[in-house]
Amino acid sequence: MFVLNLLGTFKSFSSSKNNMKKIVFISRKFPPSVGGMQKHNYELHKALSKYFDVGLISMGKKQYNLFWFLPYSFLKTLFNFNKSDVILGDGLLAPIGYLIKKFTGKKVYCVVHGLDVTYNGYFYQSFIPKYLSKLDKLICVSNNTIEECVKKGIERSKCHFIPNGVNFNEINISEDESRGFIEKKFDLDLKNKKVIITVGRLRKRKGVYWFLKNVVNNIKGDFVYLIIGNGNDENRIRSVLNDKSKLLTNVNDKDKEHIYNIADVFVMPNIKVEGDVEGFGIVAIEAAILGVPIIASNMEGIKEAIFDGKNGFLVNSMDVNGFVDKIDEVFNMKSLEKFRKNQIKFTNEKFNWEKLGKEYFDLLS
């Protein structure tokens, strides 16, 4: 049964799964809120439900409810899930997880994405890592995240690697139809142009501003660079846009489907920013599973999502010539269709949620 309220969603255990191990999944980022973590948590909940009886406590669309969601999730777990075997949450919920563990004696596991360990704030750093270290196990989405946990004094033996996942959903729309749709909706001229895209939250670490200033004007051929997303680096990015680049904000899932369908290259030009790491790079595998060639910075968690020559290409961060040359290489690749097919196959085999759900089952059982 689902119960909706101002703070979020509450789903109790199923009466038809009495013989299954019971897990409480506490999520502060879950649909209808949108984003990479929201998508991850939705797919994780779905994958876990094949193996466990999963109770859900998730926060609503408005993230400002977090202050109230923390005690709400604690009390809900305490009074509604006394029959649970394991509690699963994310890094920011570590203090609540610790309290649940102390009050109930239940095992508490936590999924750690990266920023939830490295976020550069004095109060945060003096609080969250301390409580993460007191939980039973941490499920890290990359080995890079494990290393960040160890730097914060968390025992390596508590950290287990299971990456983010993605499901293959073929786009059954012609490229011509998608080009027409995107041209009309966003007032673009794409005729005879290659399409380079970046999709994701616009933060400094994503390197979009750097890419616009240093790489775009050196790329050969007729192309357009489409930046899809919102974020706190938006104003800087707008200041360096030119006739070869366009920022598209508030793009819905249908729009993204059309954009992926016409994309020739997906770039992820991340740069190093202290206290703000890329835990994995889920947007890269979302593009790779659709056969869009990826060119990404060889750093942090990205190098565990993209395997050079397999489902994309890695270039040293802030290497102007490296990005320019690799884009030119992909634009002129004679065996591009073969690469795309192999890229989809590799990404699906390595990151499909059915496989990762089994890995969670093995760890949580």
Q: Let me know whether 194 and 133 are in one domain.
A: no
Q: What is the 3-state secondary structure (H, E, C) of 65-114?
A: HHHHHHHHHHHHHHHHCCCCCEEEEEHHHHHHHHHHHHHHCCEEEEEECC
Q: In the listed set 114, 138, 161, which residue is the last one of a domain according to the structure?
A: 161
Q: In the listed set 161, 196, 223, which residue is the last one of a domain according to the structure?
A: 161
**pLDDT for 201-218, tens place per residue?**
999 999 999 999 999 999
Residue 170 lies in a domain: no
Task: Select the more confidently predicted residue: 16 or 171.
Answer: 171
Alpha helices in the chain (DSSP H): 36-48, 66-80, 94-104, 115-118, 122-125, 128-132, 143-151, 175-186, 208-214, 234-239, 253-262, 282-288, 320-331, 336-351, 353-364
For residue 241, what are the domain limits?
175-350
Neighbours of 58 (CB within 10 A): 24
Can you give the pLDDT at residue 254?
92
Number of domains in the chain: 2
Q: Let me know whether 192 and 65 are in one domain.
A: no
**Which residue(s) pair with 342 in the sheet?**
none
Residue 46 lies in a domain: yes
Arithmetic mean of pLDDT over the chain: 91
In this structure, what CATH number is given to the domain that contains residue 66? 3.40.50.2000
Q: Let me know whether 151 and 190 are in one domain.
A: no
**pLDDT for 329-361, tens place per residue?**
999 999 999 999 999 999 999 999 999 999 999
Q: In the listed set 120, 135, 161, which residue is the last one of a domain according to the structure?
A: 161
Residue 257 lies in a domain: yes
Residue 167 lies in a domain: no
Q: Let me know whether 60 and 118 are in one domain.
A: yes
Residue 220 lies in a domain: yes
* Residue found by looking up tokens 């598209």 in the block: 248
Residue 360 lies in a domain: no
Amino acid at 275: G
Can you give the pLDDT at residue 46?
95
**pLDDT for 133-192, tens place per residue?**
999 999 999 999 999 999 999 999 999 999 999 998 878 899 999 999 999 999 999 999
Q: Let me know whether 305 and 333 are in one domain.
A: yes
Q: Let me know whether 76 and 182 are in one domain.
A: no
Q: Let me know whether 144 and 14 are in one domain.
A: yes
Residue 286 lies in a domain: yes
What's this model's pTM, rounded to 2 decimal places? 0.91
Can you give the pLDDT at residue 1?
47
Q: Let me know whether 127 and 198 are in one domain.
A: no
